[in-house]
Amino acid sequence: MEEYAREPCPWRIVDDCGGAFTMGAIGGALFNAIKGFRNAPRGMTHRMTGSLTAIKARGPIVGGNFAVWGGLFSTIDCSLIKMRGKEDPWNAIISGATTGGILAARSGPGAMLGSAIIGGVLLAMIEGVGIMFTRITSEQFKPLTPEEQMQMMQQDPNFMGFNPQGDPNLQSA
Amino acid sequence: MEKESSSLRNLLGIYSPTYAPDDPSMNVSVHSSNTNTPLLSPYLNVNPYAIQEPEFILPEGASRQRGRLEYAFGAIGGSVILGAGVGGFSGLYRGLQETKGQPAKIRRTQLINYVVKRGATSGNALGIMALMYSGFGVLLNWVRDDDDFNTIGAATATGLLYKSSAGLRKCGVGGLVGAGLASAYVLWSRANNNRSLASLVGSTRF
C-alpha cells in the first residue's frame, strides 16, 4: 500500500534517506538507552547518566548509518528503474546487494561479497513478505464464478447486497 | 479511401473538428487488430491544443495543503544529505591541506577518512536537529491548529532539547537561537506573502 503513496523518483531518495534516519535515530536511541543503562556503574544516577551519554553519543550515529543505507539503496533503486524501465522486486534485491557491497568497500573484496549477499537476501525476504501479503489481501477480491455465487446466495440470501425474492421493488418491476 | 486518409490524419494528431455520426472515420472499433494500419478510435483522438494550457485543480495561493508529517521525512532526509555534503566538502578541504606531501596511497586513505568522518558528523547533527524539529512540529500540530506559532514553538523546543544536557545557560541560548531563526523565517515568509516561497520550493514548508 505504501508503494502508491511514495514520492516520484528523484525525491524518493531524500524521503527514504529521511525515513531511514528517523528509524535509525529513534531505534538507536532506544537501544543505546538500554545498553548505556546496563553498562553504567551501580547507582540510579550513574545508570541514568550512562544511558543519556550513550543516547547522545550513539543515537545519531546509528541514524546516520541507516540514512546512508537508505539513501544509497534508493539512489540505486531509482537508477535501476530508469535503466531497466520497470519496477519489480529484482530492483530492490539488486540495489540491496549493491548497497551492501558498496558500503563494505573499504573492508576488502571478501567483506564486500558477504555484505552484498546479506543485503540481497534481506531485501529478497522483505520483497517476498510484501508479495505474500499482496497475495493474501488479493484473495478477498477474487471474482466468483456464477456457480460459486449461486452457492453463496443459497447460504446467505442477502449475499449480493439484496434479496431478489424478498425485495418488493424488484418483484413489482 | 476517405476513411484511410482521415484515419491517417487522426494518427498524425491533426485535429479534425468534423466529428459527426455519418463521418466514416467514426466507425472504428477501439480494438483495431484485423488490419495492418492501426486505426484509432476518434474518441481517443484529443485535440492537443485543448491540453496546452496548464489547469490547476487547487485555487491559486493554496500553499498549505500537506501537513507537517508528510514533509517530515523529506525535510529530515534533506537535512542529512545537506549536512553530509557540506561536512564532506569541508573535510575534503581540510584533509587536502593537512595531508600535503604524504605518499599518494596514505593520502588517499586519509582523505577518505576526513570526508567520511566530517560528513557523518555534520550530517548526523543536522539530521537530529531536523528530526527534533519535525517531531515537535507534528506534536504541536496535533495539539493545536497549524500556524506560524507552531513553527516558532517547534524550533524553540528543538533548540532547548538539543542543548538540554550542556547546562542551563547553553540550553537557554539554544532555545533562543531556535526561536530567532524560526521568527526570522516566519517574518520573511510573511513578507513574501506566503506564496513566493511556496512557488520557490514547491510549497515545501520546513
Closest by Cβ to B81, choosing from A52, A59, A71: A71
Could you tell me the maximum CA-CA distance found in chain A, to the nearest angstrom?
Answer: 85
Query: Is pLDDT larger for residue B17 or for residue B118?
Result: B118
Distance CA A74, CA A123 (A): 12
* Chain B residue numbers touching A17 (CB-CB < 8 A): 76-77, 80-81
Write out residues in chain A with pLDDT < 50, as ranges: 1-4, 172-173
Model confidence pLDDT, tens digit, residues A74-113: 999 999 988 888 888 888 899 999 999 998 888 888 999 9
Task: Say whether B77 and A7 touch across the interface (CB within 8 A).
Answer: no
Residue-by-residue DSSP string for chain A: -HHHHSPPHHHHHHHHHHHHHHHHHHHHHHHHHHHHHHHSPSSHHHHHHHHHHHHHHHHHHHHHHHHHHHHHHHHHHHHHHHHHS---HHHHHHHHHHHHHHHTGGG-HHHHHHHHHHHHHHHHHHHHHHHHHHHHHHHTTPPPPHHHHHHHHHH-TTTTSS-TTT-HHHHH-
Per-residue pLDDT for B115 more than 70?
Answer: yes
Model confidence pLDDT, tens digit, residues B41-63: 556 666 555 666 666 665 555 55
Task: Say whether A21 and B127 touch across the interface (CB within 8 A).
Answer: yes
Model confidence pLDDT, tens digit, residues B147-176: 778 888 888 889 888 888 888 888 888 889
State the DSSP code for B52: S
Q: Parse chain B into domains and list their residue ranges.
A: 68-144, 147-206
Q: Which helix (H) or strand (E) holds B157?
A: helix B148-162
Q: What is the pLDDT of residue A106?
A: 85
Per-residue pLDDT for B67 more than 80?
Answer: no
For B15, other C-beta atoms within 10 Å of its C-beta total 12
Task: Say whether A61 and B124 touch across the interface (CB within 8 A).
Answer: yes
